[in-house]
Chain A
């Protein structure tokens, strides 16, 4: 579904990603792990077309998308729920959700709105409230809800559990698993290594802009090196 090869990317003269190869098959959850500053968010931003690549290629369902505009990439069904949520603070919850269907699935907007509200009942209590007045956790739900409004084919989640209480983190992973059971492919960037590996099919570990490790999630969760560097376990 998504094929990334020899991706090089960064900001200005700074090269952050130095040759990344990564792939996602339909129906998979693929986790991307790595310490702060490894380049995970940079990877997501480049898949979404927010920056111009330095080199390499990104193909989605066989089509080269690395030169496409963000709106074309959204239209193709690659939906990115960004780090820091990026909801529209001056718009109501309902308007935020409606804008989720700005470029895609507009015809089924009201049906999808009902579906998202059923997934996040809390949002419906806040429907006419400005998104900027929501709590961090509620904003995270809104950001994901907004992403779902576009009927994603591939959903990119950048640290969806950041700032959530342990109970909500649990719920978040449960939700991702449920969405995946319904057939959605997910690229999951996370700090919660264990929980991510528990729901993921495969994972990549990013270090200093390169893939340091990759493999089946069950295998990685047992890996000594990974346990030492990311879980602080001996």
Chain B
């Protein structure tokens, strides 16, 4: 019959993986919720951030965790600049153009990565990569535990920022009432860029948390972003707690799906749950009702 240790390990693995999915999805859902666009550059920007962590480590010997503040600030600035300088300019505020612009950005980034790094996979060798901790008979890799805790912490801080700060209030105001926001003196273009920047900064954090145990290659973002899209839709487009819950849920689906259906079928579990949830709650778990 079912081995409890196996179930326990499935649970642990699912949650650990799910927290990272949630972090990637948080950025996506924030950008969707405020700018009302689907950021097709999300996956390639995650890849770019992972190469950033790789380079900081291999060129300058900076530990990926120490690189976190650098990457968060760097990716925020990149995101802010992309939105303000490129996406908003090139799209003239038309949604279908924005879609193409973000798609274009992702193609450019991926080809640059192919040019500079070829298709090879790269890893970084940190001394603690294989440290682990035994909890009730299951070995948990310490870097994944750190990633889990940090992802939840970052999600919590982001939530506080959105709920409690002036910038957060302005972000929520712009998301639903642009004209009203202009009339209280909010610079809407600035808030758009801040939101995009914060969404991309999440990817910088995710990259630092991933690199100790992952490899990076030019298309590494694809797998993540497909799951992140699923998470965002599952949790409710634009819903913050929804992205967190959805991320953990998808992590669990993947892990238990793999356990029961075998590795290669693990992802089927994700889409089964996805379809079932949307059948009963078309606007997602925590999305506002249509």
Contacts and interface: CB of A to CB of B under 8 A. Distances in A.
A82 interface: yes
A71 B186 contact: yes
Contact of A88 (B176, B182, B185): B176
B176 A150 contact: no
A91 B173 contact: yes
B290 interface: no
A146 B184 contact: yes
A102 B191 CA distance: 13
Nearest to B33: A90
A233 B143 CA distance: 82
Given A90-B172, A102-B166, A48 B183 contact: yes
B248 to A, nearest CB: 25
Q: How large is the interface on A (under 10, 10 to 19, 20 to 34, 35 or more residues)?
A: 20 to 34
Interface string A47-65: 0101000000000000000
Interface in B179-207: 179-187
A86 B179 contact: yes
B176 A102 contact: no
A89 B187 CA distance: 19
Contacts of A75: 185
A90 B175 contact: yes
Q: How large is the interface on B (under 10, 10 to 19, 20 to 34, 35 or more residues)?
A: 10 to 19
Interface stretch (A93-101, A166-174, A209-217): A93-101
A71 B187 CA distance: 6
Nearest to B173: A88
Contacts of A100: 184
Contact of A69 (B169, B173, B179, B187): B187
Contacts of B182: 48, 50, 70-71
Interface in B48-99: none
A150 B172 CA distance: 19
Given A71-B186, A150-B185, A86 B180 contact: yes
Nearest to B179: A86
Contacts of B175: 90
B134 interface: no
B173 A86 contact: no
Interface string A78-116: 011110011111110001001110111000000000000
Contacts of A95: 169, 172
Interface string A24-65: 000000000000000000000000101000000000000000
User: Which of B170, B182, B184 has the most CB atoms of chain A within a 10 A radius of its CB?
Assistant: B184
Nearest to A84: B179
A102 B186 contact: yes
A122 to B, nearest CB: 20
Contacts of A103: 184-186
A88 B180 contact: yes
A153 to B, nearest CB: 14
Contacts of B186: 71, 99, 102-103
User: Which of B169, B180, B183 has the most CB atoms of chain A within a 10 A radius of its CB?
Assistant: B183
A231 B56 CA distance: 75
Nearest to A96: B173
B179 A99 contact: no
B177 A87 contact: yes
A99 B176 contact: no
A231 B176 CA distance: 38
B183 A102 contact: no
9 contacts: A71-B186, A82-B180, A86-B180, A86-B183, A88-B173, A89-B177, A102-B184, A102-B185, A146-B184
Interface of B: 166, 169-170, 172-173, 175-177, 179-187
